[in-house]
Structure 1
Amino acid sequence: MNAFADGYMNSKTTLKQFVEQYDNALRSKVEKEMKADFKSRNKLYDCLMIYEFEKQFCTAYTNTKFKEMQVELERLLYCRVKLVKEEGAICTYHANEAVLVCEKMKTVEFVVYFNASECEMQCMCWWFEFRGIMCAHAITVLLERCIYQVLDKYIVSRWIKDIERGYTCILTTCTKAGVVVNAKLHDKYHKMLDEILEIAANDNGKHEVLDLGLIEIKDRVRKDQSGSASHVPPSTSNVPPSTSNAPTFHSSSKSPSARSTTKASMSRKMLSPMLAH
């Protein structure tokens, strides 16, 4: 909360100033997030190494999360691993990392389990489980086994730069008109798609059915959209509300129905600070 309100509000801010400054702070946060998304999609940081897994992280992750990933790659210089046990497909490694403790060099040992048949691993530092980033110990095991790519499961979806965030569909005072999907509609179909994905999660046959169905739905929607666009009526912005044939959206505070409300209802309506001002 302090980071959000920094520069806009403090302990001496009045209630009236808080309402006004909150809107400004929210607008600033949205603009910064849009700029960060643009940079992540259009500007890639240079890789430190030639290994393929770093290119995977660079292509998938946002710039901020990729920088955190590069910190783990730099720790590879201080890590050494050795194979201590092998039971079937499960290999147990001891990873020794040199760290500074009170300005003194100390070696810390971690245990890494590697499944050779599934190419999966688990480190006892639990860095991936808690932070969503592969630790240097696990990456060192990959290099020891001459594996230079990681499975998709180790590229966490919440850090991906092209992920669609659902909360961006919520209408706010900072939103430009006409660029936001209806929030209720988005939520409805999002839940429906989640249910479908759960059903088809581990069945390749259902994956094919899902692909074909979504492609067919997409083509049909595009076809209907292009057909309806050619029959759009002329603009009725200069026509009085009583004679206009345009549909009325009662959820918008700027719709004709809202403007035609009685004085009594307007006196009971809570206006936003911008409109009241």
Structure 2
Amino acid sequence: MAIETRLAPRTALFLPASNPRAIEKARGLPVDLVILDLEDAVKPTDKDAARTAAASAIREGLGGKPVAVRINAPGTPDCGPDMVLLRETPADFVVVPKVETARAALDVHSVMLKPVLAMIETPSGVLAAHEIAAAQMVHGLIAGTNDLRAELRIPPAADRSGLALALQTIVLAARAGGAWALDGVFNALGDSQALGEECRAGRAMGFDGKTLIHPNQIDIAAEAFAPSEAEREEARALIEAASGGAERFRDRMIEEMHVAQARALLARA
């Protein structure tokens, strides 16, 4: 369940914790959240060095940006060492892979004492997303679209239509639990047009922002998930015009719900 005073990130960039140049570059990037990755992005032989580098980077700071660390999945040999070394760091969040129960997130939180961003990457995780998002220590859900594709046996080249139910379930669970909902990564690094289209589709589905795997994706995702100037103007005009109760505004009916929605949009902008 998210802390209401913290706005969800529009952009969350995964970085290999084993890559010092990437970490140094991240300090100057206009990204909302940096996620230092100890899992998929790190070779097995580099795990020890990566967790040490992550702890050092977190203590030094990432240019004032919030920072999360993705530990290795619970039950794997590297998960325990990750938690032990990183629990004393000032990381803002811990990203937990392949969460399938609220208990799995609670177990990590009980060791690290940090808000959890739970990755929903399996069919079991999708079906349990409601209870996971509702857990007090869970601050957000992240759609693990690559793993979901594999688990659901969706061909790699297929569009996201086969993921639609899973993605919408993640958003529904996050909203019911008061948690963030972050969309999954986009793999085609050279296709900026398709990235923009996927970001806009994700926002239309209700996601707060998108997880990214390359700095070149930041500006595109940030723009797609930010309210447009037209949306901001509409929101300001609606708030100014509203006088309470159901009433007509620009040839449509509005009520207090729409005013609250407009205020939230301006706060996010």
Tell me the TM-score range normalised by the shorter chain.
under 0.3
Structure label with greater radius of gyration? 1
TM-score when normalising by structure 1: 0.23
